[in-house]
Amino acid sequence: MVKDPVDLSGKHVMITGCTAGLGRAAALELASMGARVSIVCRDERKGEELARDIERKTGRDDTRVYVGDMGVQADVRDVGERFLETGEALDVLFNNAGVVNQQRAVTTDGFEATFAVNHLAYYVLSVMLAERLQEAPEGRVVCTASDAYKFVNGSIDFDDLQSERRYTTFGAYGSSKLANILFTRELARRLQGTNVTANAFHPGMVGSDFAKNNGFVAQVAMTLIKPLARSPLKGAETGIYLCSSPDVAGHSGGYYYDCKQHTTRAAARDDADARRLWEVSEKLTGVSLP
């Protein structure tokens, strides 16, 4: 259980990437705090299993499962469109889906997979649901970023966003996490004057199944570090805080760790890069704010 839980009765939270790790912990905890949770996942069976776990833990039987691969643009749009069709307001969008790949992979849309899942999915879903967030009394967008953005030597490389010239696991992942922070910063700027805030956070090193898709060596490495890592719930704590705490009401564009705002390196505070990333994302996806 997180410290100082807030009563979220009447609130509606959508969370992506939540069938394992910190996303799963966050979904269960937010539901325990009274929120209605909509979960977005690739695996319908795992999504339904989480919905049943939420019902067993909280008694809530209103969890909605949206199935879609966040690396496929059509799926991300489909999730957004299906939610829009409900006509419901949304209090919180928790962008948490993420991937790290040992080898460069390309999605069906032709995008490098790390960039597609870790950044473009955040961008598309947030922009599509911005109107619904504005219909809530106090809309919030929360993005799981990471101090892995520091793997980037200098600024984001707009000449190689798809890692076509050079691909390294940590380079691509770090670049996507820098993109998360820049995107959140620009989203906050563009939503100034509305009731919607946007903040990003660093969960710390979390013991989970993350990166275990990269074969035996990665599986062994994640297993070995697990005793030294944070629990999924501890990793989720700052995200839950940003979703719920009155302490951050009205605060936007920040980067948090351990429930406190932190100053990022200059590359993650570059407003020109944040605007440029937004414009590039808009062109790549064809999705824009109304």
Tens of pLDDT along 149-198? 999 999 999 999 999 999 999 999 999 999 999 999 999 999 999 999 99
Range of the domain at 259: 12-283
Which domain CATH number covers 261?
3.40.50.720
Q: Over 90: is that where the pLDDT of 281 sits?
A: yes
User: From the CB of residue 7, how many other CB atoms can be counted at a distance below 10 Å?
Assistant: 10
122, 149, 173, 241: which is the annotated catalytic residue? 173
pLDDT computed for residue 167 by the predictor: 97
From first CA to last CA, the distance across the chain in angstroms is 39
Q: Over 80: is that where the pLDDT of 211 sits?
A: no
Mean pLDDT of the residues in the chain? 93
Mean pLDDT of 192-217: 76
Poorest-confidence range of 1-10, 76-85, 193-202? Answer: 1-10
Domain annotation covers residue 7: no
Count structural domains, the chain.
1
Whether 96 contacts 18, CB under 8 Å: yes
| Nearest of 127, 108, 93, 131 to residue 16 by alpha carbon | 93
pLDDT computed for residue 209 by the predictor: 56
pLDDT computed for residue 228 by the predictor: 58
Domain annotation covers residue 148: yes
Mean pLDDT of 218-226: 42
Mean pLDDT of 14-37: 97
Q: Pull the structure tokens for residue 289.
A: 């704010």
Query: Cβ contacts of residue 156 below 8 Å, gap of 6+?
Result: 175, 178, 179, 182, 267, 273, 277
Q: Over 70: is that where the pLDDT of 216 sits?
A: no
Domain annotation covers residue 23: yes
Q: Pull the structure tokens for residue 163.
A: 């890692």
Domain annotation covers residue 1: no
Question: How far apart, in whole angstroms, are the C-alpha atoms of residue 71 and residue 39?
Answer: 16
> Nearest 10 degrees: CA dihedral of 279, 280, 284, 289?
-20
Q: Over 60: is that where the pLDDT of 234 sits?
A: yes
Domain annotation covers residue 6: no
pLDDT computed for residue 156 by the predictor: 97
pLDDT computed for residue 4 by the predictor: 78
Confirm whether 123 is a catalytic residue. no
pLDDT computed for residue 214 by the predictor: 47
Q: Name which residue leads in pLDDT, 235 or 222.
A: 235
Domain annotation covers residue 2: no
pLDDT computed for residue 258 by the predictor: 97
| Nearest of 248, 246, 163, 269 to residue 198 by alpha carbon | 248
Q: Over 90: is that where the pLDDT of 255 sits?
A: yes
Domain annotation covers residue 57: yes
pLDDT computed for residue 210 by the predictor: 52
Domain annotation covers residue 221: yes
Q: Name which residue leads in pLDDT, 108 or 225.
A: 108
